[in-house]
Amino acid sequence: MKNIMEQKSGRLIYPILLFFSLTLVFNLNGQTPAGTKPAIHKFQIPADYLKEAANIPAYWISAYDEVNAFLLKTVKKGKVEVIGTSAGGRPIRAVFYGKARQGKGTTTFSGSLGYGDMRAYRGPDHDKTVYMGMASVHGGEFEGIVGMVNLISVIETGKDLRGKEWPEITAVVAKVDRLILIPIVNPDGRVRIPLRMETFRDTDFTVAEFLNTGGNAEGKITGWPQIKEFIPMDFSKPGFPGGYPNDAGVNVQHDDFFGNRQPETQALLDLTGREKPDVIINLHTGAVYMRMDRPICEPALHPAFDTLFRYVHSELGRKGLQYSKDPQIAGDPALASTGVFNLDGALNFHCGALSVVVESPSHSFDGVNEDGKPAGQSPDMLIDAQLICHQQAMKFLAETGGRSKWLPGRKK
């Protein structure tokens, strides 16, 4: 979780602990050597934290197995493929719509920048528009998963899982050449948290932060950004590692991108190198209202980011899902905070995509707005915000034409 949640981190000690056992393979290379026996780790979680929400809505599909069952049952227009395997040996599935790029470029992405023409990298159908969405890089952040499942429902049936029609999404999907949707990038971290939906706890975020960032054997929260101090994490220590890392103890958002990469990261690099997406929306949880961060990326992409920010945040403002309902105020890209170098920067420098983190509010507690009052973001509102984000990001891509139009190449 993020700094808006820090004020209560680590304040409370929880004396009553429930020992929750998971079978994990712990290997720093993210691989499972032949003949290796799984290591048994006793993760300690306060008993109260494992309470499921009462009356979980039918539209709230977030657990690894139920997402896979949903894809198997629902996806007919698209194609479900396994794009890789996690450090813990779990398949990572993506849904594909439309035709992939045909033909290959003549140089690397870096070479195309030096040459001054992205077409040399992207190939003969350089102007094809490719949209990619991914969720649950951190396993304790459920909102992006649920939003992606509902997006797939809209694409397949015209309606989300609440029965609500989204004609604008249906229309814009038809205008984008290729869609790639990954509901759970980090299945190891997601499976580590045995809840479909957390209990709502008003403005107290301690449970959500413990489950995501982990805590020690006494129940003290690790917190954000402290969770990033040790990568990989040592699973042999008592306590709970949270949903951030994979089963090798690595937070993929901050992997060793130029060295000993994790299998989840390699799967994303292989996928994006092959598909060459224009836009990647990387969905997380950790904001009072939905928030898009400015990535560390090529400076030439900053104007495209500003436009994308306006598309998404202005519409969120109109729908009452931002600090301000005024679309000009809500959509001002000057409000975007700049992130650090992470997975999104690595993906940009790998394949040229404008890859951005979008932080959602949490379903399990209510953030406090600038007036010191609860923001009032219900699960229904969170799904609306997720779908609006995808809708507007795809609309931005369809109407601006992607990288081939954002940065015209040299004249022949």
* Whole-number pLDDT of residue 15: 31
The stretch 30-36 carries a mean pLDDT of 38
- Alpha carbon distance 230, 8 (integer Å): 22
The stretch 296-306 carries a mean pLDDT of 95
The stretch 58-63 carries a mean pLDDT of 98
The stretch 150-169 carries a mean pLDDT of 98
Please confirm whether the linkage preceding 232 is cis (ω < 30° from 0): yes
Least confident of 11-15, 75-79, 159-163, 387-391: 11-15
- CATH code linked to domain 3-406: 3.40.630.10
Per-residue pLDDT reduced to its tens digit, 275-288 = 999 999 999 999 99
Please confirm whether the linkage preceding 225 is cis (ω < 30° from 0): yes
Residue ranges of E strands in 262-341? 279-285, 291-292
Least confident of 22-36, 55-69, 157-171, 369-383: 22-36
The stretch 239-261 carries a mean pLDDT of 96
* Whole-number pLDDT of residue 45: 85
Per-residue pLDDT reduced to its tens digit, 175-221 = 999 999 999 999 999 999 999 999 999 999 999 999 999 998 667 89
DSSP string of 205-218, one letter each residue: -HHHHHHHH-B-TT
Work out the pLDDT band at 42, boundaries 50, 70, 90: low
Reduce the DSSP state of residue 338 to 3 states and report it. strand
The stretch 2-17 carries a mean pLDDT of 34
Reduce the DSSP state of residue 311 to 3 states and report it. helix
